Amino acid sequence: MSFPQGFTAQVARCGLKSNGDPELAVVRSQVPCQAAGVFTTNRVAAAPVRYCQQLLRRASDMVSAVVINSKNANAVTGPQGERDCARLAALVDPGDVLTMSTGVIGQPMPMAVYEKGLNELIPAEPELLARAMMTTDTYPKVVVREFQGTRWLGVAKGAGMIHPDMATLLCLVITDAAIPAAELQQALNEANQVSFQCITVDGDTSTNDSLLVLANGAAACTPVEWPSILRQVLMDLARMVAFDGEGARHRVTLHVSGLSRDDEARQVGRVVLTSPLVKTAIAGKDANWGRILAAAGRSGVVFEPTEAALWWNGLKLLDGGAPTNPGSEAEARAVEGQEVELRLQLGQGLGKATVWSCDLTHDYVSINGDYRT
């Protein structure tokens, strides 16, 4: 897996991770990039989020690099956090450098450790770059695409505090396509709606969510259909994040249809797959259609329950708002695998959405109960 033209990556092992993975990464472009970003809507936004937002407002066509650190979120760290963020960027390059951080909230940045790491950077392939971003992820999330003479690389991290608007998520997409910043931002906003806005693990949004896209134009071409490639890269990464939820044992895909608008279908899907009762039923291999319909009913979206139908891995459990009673043996077969595909039909409208998530297990509690220790 090679990088798009004109991009390189380096990482450093700073000794903060017990498994020896790197905690610091720098992605550079040989020429200034056009850049776009989407960030958390949590009012308690981390210093790197605010730093990136300010930079993109003044210089979205002059970004030279991105610096990423894990093990410390630099969130709720006051004025010192702002200074640390700016210093980390300045040490990478005197130009315009975007910053992303992930890790424990409310603790000062170990700047001496990261500054030392910047002096010990080594070249990194995409997988090692993704590992530098990881916290509780179980594997590096990398997507590579070739499209009409351009190359696209996406890396992401996220496993807990995952929910729309956005998630405990860091995602960086780089491409050598030539795309103006304004067009890149518009396409990113639209692609985000059908990717990271359609995943949930636990219903918690984060202080640090950052989704960045950089285009340096080194390929000297702009494919007409480039927004579709960006959308596919983000959807692939979003599914990886949702399915790698902390402690997860089941990968869940929910298709919602039959509503007036797509955003209504997304809202129903988010509420259903955030429900602890639905998620624990999936963990326990219990085809509990009642929990799913009840969660849809409190979503705030208007539908007629007597028109509802539900399928679990192809087995119809609900029809016309009433149970089909397929029998315990049929249900046991339908819920056996780790892949769970739910299809919820709520009427005759054209609005539809697909939402991705995972189950909720005892391991989730264990991971988060011990997170700071």
Residue 159, pLDDT score: 65
Is residue 192 domain-shared with residue 338, that is, in the same domain?
no
The domain boundary residue, chosen from 219, 243, 267: 243
Flag whether pLDDT at 72 surpasses 80. yes
pLDDT tens-digit series, residues 302-315: 999 999 999 999 99
More confident residue, 167 or 35: 35
The whole-model pTM stands at 0.89
Is residue 58 domain-shared with residue 185, that is, in the same domain?
yes
Residue ranges making up the domain that contains 353 = 251-369
Is residue 297 domain-shared with residue 201, that is, in the same domain?
no
The pLDDT of 321-331, averaged and rounded, is 94
Return the structure tokens found at 1. Answer: 């897996």
Q: In percent, how much of the chain has pLDDT > 90?
A: 82
CATH code of the domain containing 332: 3.10.20.340
Is residue 102 domain-shared with residue 238, that is, in the same domain?
yes
Does residue 2 form part of some domain? Answer: no
Q: What angle (nearest 5°) sits at the alpha carbon of residue 126, between those of residues 120 and 127?
A: 90
The pLDDT of 185-193, averaged and rounded, is 96
Is residue 52 domain-shared with residue 178, that is, in the same domain?
yes
Q: Which of 40, 99, 136, 168 is catalytic?
A: 168
Q: List, in order, residues 6 or more apart from 247 with CB less than 8 Å away.
A: 360, 361, 362, 363, 364, 365, 366, 367
Average pLDDT, the chain: 93
pLDDT tens-digit series, residues 327-359: 999 999 999 999 999 999 999 899 999 999 998
Does residue 198 form part of some domain? Answer: yes
pLDDT category of residue 373 using cuts at 50, 70 and 90: very low
End-to-end CA distance of the chain: 35
Flag whether pLDDT at 230 surpasses 50. yes
Is residue 159 domain-shared with residue 23, that is, in the same domain?
yes
Does residue 1 form part of some domain? Answer: no
CATH code of the domain containing 26: 3.60.70.12
Is residue 220 domain-shared with residue 160, that is, in the same domain?
yes
Does residue 365 form part of some domain? Answer: yes
The domain boundary residue, chosen from 243, 261, 287: 243
Flag whether pLDDT at 167 surpasses 50. no
Q: List, in order, residues 6 or more apart from 7 with CB less than 8 Å away.
A: 27, 28, 29, 30, 153, 174, 176, 216, 218
Examine the residue annotation and report whether 138 is marked as an active-site residue of this protein: no
Does residue 16 form part of some domain? Answer: yes
Return the structure tokens found at 245. Answer: 């939820």
Residue 242, pLDDT score: 87
The pLDDT of 25-54, averaged and rounded, is 95
Is residue 229 domain-shared with residue 270, that is, in the same domain?
no
Does residue 229 form part of some domain? Answer: yes
Is residue 124 domain-shared with residue 229, that is, in the same domain?
yes
Is residue 231 domain-shared with residue 294, that is, in the same domain?
no
Is residue 147 domain-shared with residue 173, that is, in the same domain?
yes
Q: How many domains does the chain have?
A: 2
Residue 205, pLDDT score: 67
More confident residue, 223 or 200: 223
Is residue 182 domain-shared with residue 257, that is, in the same domain?
no
